[in-house]
Amino acid sequence: MRLLGYTRVSTAGQGAQLQLDALVGAGVQKRDVFSDVTSGSKTAKQRPGMRRLLDYAEDGDTVVVWRIDRPGRSLLDVLATVNHLRDQGVKVRSVSDNIDPETSSGRMMLGMLATLAEYERELVTERVNAGIAAAKQNGTKFGRPPVDADEITTKLAIAEDARAKGRTAKDAARLVGWSRATLYRHRQAADT
């Protein structure tokens, strides 16, 4: 029987050291920890680290996670991942939640905690959306700033003059602070 670990963080800036320390403390060797640094919006099977873990785990192994929400983004994803592992004969254990899905009470706790984690994420999303709505109501503009048509015409004329004098499109675009693609896009828009 092997102890295999799994960690997941949403961004590289977050770091998984806390999770890794907990897994090592639970007896998992560092070499047996599979990790993902990816958005939680991806299902478990879409994450490369989880895919490697699912392919590697064998009957009799135990997958150890820091918290039960690490294997999946939503209640359905967590349950699908745990059930997939259990169907392979692989046990799942959560260190900080102390959940053992091999027992009926563990399965109940798994469902409750996954539901609460999903609820928490939905609350965060609601708060962010409410903040954006309030900012818009107060006049905050989102997205790219509007482009001044006169400025584009001036920059296009400068770039075209540079092209006529033998400069490459890349150099002419750089002269006015654009990329070559932006120069071509503005040129095409001006021709239509």
The pLDDT value recorded for residue 13 is 67
- C-alpha 100/C-alpha 124 separation (Å) is 28
Per the document, the length of the chain is 192
Look at residue 47 and give its three-state secondary structure. coil
Q: Does the annotation count 10 as an active-site position?
A: yes
Tens digit of each residue's pLDDT (9 = 90 or more) over 4-32: 999 988 776 677 899 999 999 999 999 99
Query: What is the maximum span of the chain, computed from C-alpha positions, in angstroms?
Result: 79
pTM > 0.75: no
CA atoms within 13 A on the CB side of 48: 3
CB of 187 within 8 A of CB of 156?
Answer: yes
Which residue in this structure is represented by tokens 């027992």?
103
pLDDT at 127 over 80: yes
- C-alpha 129/C-alpha 152 separation (Å) is 34
pLDDT at 84 over 70: yes
Which one of the listed residues 10, 41, 105, 179 is annotated catalytic?
10
The pLDDT value recorded for residue 143 is 86
- C-alpha 35/C-alpha 13 separation (Å) is 14
Q: What is the mean pLDDT of the chain?
A: 88
Tens digit of each residue's pLDDT (9 = 90 or more) over 131-182: 999 999 999 988 888 888 899 999 999 999 999 999 999 999 999 999 999 9
